[in-house]
């Protein structure tokens, strides 16, 4: 646990009592604050009381008297599409609003660091797609190299549930736009921006607000090193803002679209080969083509970002290459579930938008594509240029018929359920095919989350392979 510093003897309200909210309340109490907990869900309040935490009804007239701050869980909106009523009252009363990420950055460093040979480092990763894999990959590389490392934030453990920093240790944090937008302190040693594609636009008031939330990770505290994907205009803009000049190697530019040139520090992948250039000269190269845990250009982008981050932490190219080769991937993200008779079954349930689905579709030569669910704004029209590898689509869920209309001449079948889709795709698959779950849609029509959807696909595939 990271005890929260700076609120000793003060009242701090905690709004939202899920995983991060409960961890925040415990960390506040450990740091000497008086945590006053609230959630509009009676079940969540009962759970908090069962852990010995005190409740504080934020709907009371005097609820915001004598509060030092309000700590809100990431999923609770504070501005768009409309502020949560409790957060709106806090802001009207002049009570500062923060989140657990802000508390972490103000509390992680302690006086004990003065006695360490190598003070701990924090690497924070944000972006639209690939941030979970990039975060896990950085953690994997560090662990394989013998460096003490912890993984947290939007993946792994909650930030305030992590252990205090150790000599030479590294904390790797995946941070969503919900987390970066509200945090009052953001001071990583290394910040990583993977890419940007439209998502969560209602929460951020449009794509500009979404990018602004991501940009805060770089603008608020100024990391010692910024690793920035430059395959979108926003990344190019951000890299330009962070660098003092073309040769400023505090900024490492990353690409999978084109070769990067110039006097600075670049890492890019082309045709399956990762290259590192510094001062206009190649200093390292890695063949990614046969690394089963990193299929496709989207995973090559993740590998480039992880390579850059771990190089910035002092690891050598050969150390990193060995760790990349042993990475098995994350569940629900280009996860190889099984293979039989020359047919592969891949679970990419995390591909909930068109950009991530496009990356998955182009990673395999011939695809039996399972798609659908609760479609997002724009449907799958943006996938039209990426359907060349699709032998047939098998459509499920609420948006199956809408998706069918957008597929044009691409063979497709409306299956409605995952069980029917898996059975039909497996029956029709030929050697060399990949049966790919890449929904390009949210899961909430049929499943509580993308993990449950991926687990259903995995269970169905394994049952069939066992027959």
> 206: which residues sit within 8 A by CB, 6+ positions away?
none
Spatial CA neighbour of 102 closest among 209, 28, 10, 170: 28
Tokens coding 227: 């690793």
Spatial neighbors of 342 by CB under 8 A, at least 6 apart, are 430, 431, 432, 433
**133 annotated as ligand-binding:** yes
Compute φ and ψ for 323, nearest 5 degrees.
-70, -35
Q: Which helix (H) or strand (E) holds 247?
A: none
Say if residues 99 and 182 touch (Cβ distance below 8 Å).
yes
Buried b (16+ CB within 10 A) or exposed e, 203-234: bbeeeebbbbbbbbbbebbebebbbbbbbbeb
Are 202 and 80 in contact by the 8 Å Cβ rule? The answer is: yes
Q: Residue 304: which of 128, 130, 123 has the closest Cα? A: 130
d(CA 109, CA 98): 18
146 labelled ligand-binding:
no
The token duo for 24 is 């925040």
Q: Is 128 annotated as a binding residue?
A: yes
Closest CA to 178 of 152, 151, 202: 202
310 is in an annotated binding site: no
Cβ atoms of 30 and 7 within 8 Å: the answer is no
Binding residues for ATP: 127-133
Binding residues: 127-133
């Amino acid at each position: 646990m990271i005890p929260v510093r700076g609120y000793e003897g003060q009242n701090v309200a905690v709004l939202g009592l899920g995983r991060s909210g409960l961890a925040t309340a415990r960390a506040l109490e450990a740091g000497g604050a008086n945590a006053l907990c609230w959630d509009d869900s009676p079940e969540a309040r009962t759970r908090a009381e069962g852990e010995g935490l005190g409740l504080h009804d934020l709907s009371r007239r005097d609820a915001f008297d004598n509060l030092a701050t309000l700590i809100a869980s990431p999923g609770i909106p504070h501005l768009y599409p409309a502020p949560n009523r409790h957060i709106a009252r806090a802001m009207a009363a002049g009570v500062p609003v923060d989140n657990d990420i802000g508390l972490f950055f103000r509390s992680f460093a302690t006086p004990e660091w003065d006695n360490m040979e190598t003070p701990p480092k924090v690497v924070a990763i944000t972006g639209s797609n690939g941030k979970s894999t990039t975060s896990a990959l950085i953690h994997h590389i560090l662990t394989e190299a013998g460096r003490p490392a912890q993984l947290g934030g939007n993946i792994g453990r909650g930030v305030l549930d992590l252990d205090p920093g150790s000599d030479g240790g590294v904390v790797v944090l995946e941070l969503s736009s919900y987390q970066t937008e509200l945090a009052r302190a953001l001071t990583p040693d290394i910040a990583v921006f993977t890419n940007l594609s439209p998502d969560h636009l209602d929460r951020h008031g449009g794509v500009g607000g979404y990018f602004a939330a991501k940009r805060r990770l770089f603008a608020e505290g100024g990391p010692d090193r910024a690793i920035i994907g430059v395959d979108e205009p926003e990344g190019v803009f951000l890299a330009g803002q962070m660098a003092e000049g073309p040769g400023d190697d505090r900024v490492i530019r990353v690409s999978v679209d084109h070769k990067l040139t110039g006097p600075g520090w670049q890492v890019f992948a082309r045709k399956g080969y990762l290259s590192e250039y510094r001062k206009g000269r190649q200093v390292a190269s890695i063949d990614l083509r046969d690394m089963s845990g990193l299929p496709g250009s989207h995973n090559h982008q993740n590998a480039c970002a992880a390579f850059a981050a771990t190089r910035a932490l002092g690891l050598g190219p050969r150390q990193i290459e060995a760790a990349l080769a042993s990475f098995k991937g994350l569940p629900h993200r280009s996860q190889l579930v099984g293979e039989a008779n020359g047919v592969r079954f891949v679970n990419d349930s995390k591909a909930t938008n068109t950009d991530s689905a496009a990356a998955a579709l182009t990673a395999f030569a011939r695809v039996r594509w399972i798609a659908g669910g609760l479609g997002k704004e724009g449907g799958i029209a943006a996938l039209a240029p990426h359907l060349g590898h699709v032998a047939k689509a098998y459509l499920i869920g609420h948006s199956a018929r809408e998706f069918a209309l957008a597929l044009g001449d691409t063979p497709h079948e409306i299956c409605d359920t995952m069980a029917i889709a898996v059975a039909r795709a497996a029956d029709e698959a030929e050697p060399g095919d990949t049966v790919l779950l890449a929904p390009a849609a949210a899961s909430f029509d049929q499943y509580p989350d993308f993990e449950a959807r991926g687990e259903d696909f995995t269970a169905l595939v394994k049952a069939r392979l066992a027959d």
